[in-house]
Amino acid sequence: MRATQNLDLMKAFAAEVRARRHALGFSQEELAHRAEVNRTFVAKVELAQNQPTLTVLHKLATGLEIDLPELLRLAEARYAKLRKASK
């Protein structure tokens, strides 16, 4: 059975990836190259249309020059803000 997607969590992660990429001055193409993934995949992650695997999460974090636990912590903080704002 496939798990239900949490769209708010996906949006929070997407926003964190996009913010981190912009802060580094990377294009989607540059991040894709650094993370060894396809540019369209990066775009879909940033639009909350894809849920990356653990392996790809690690690649994205590496490409964004951040440890995976820190990237996930920042995304979780965004998610908590989204949940609080929606109440």
Residue-range domains of the chain with CATH: 7-85 (1.10.260.40)
Mean pLDDT value across residues 40-67: 97
Give how far the C-alpha of residue 12 lies from the chain's centroid of Cα atoms, to the nearest Å.
8
Question: Among all chains, which residue has been given the structure tokens 């496939």?
Answer: 2
Write the pLDDT tens digit of every residue in 16-48.
999 999 999 999 999 999 999 999 999 999 999
Of residues 87 and 5, the one with the higher pLDDT is: 5
Q: Are 59 and 36 in contact (CB under 8 A)?
A: yes
> What HEC string does 17-57 produce?
HHHHHHHHCCCHHHHHHHHCCCHHHHHHHHCCCCCCCHHHH
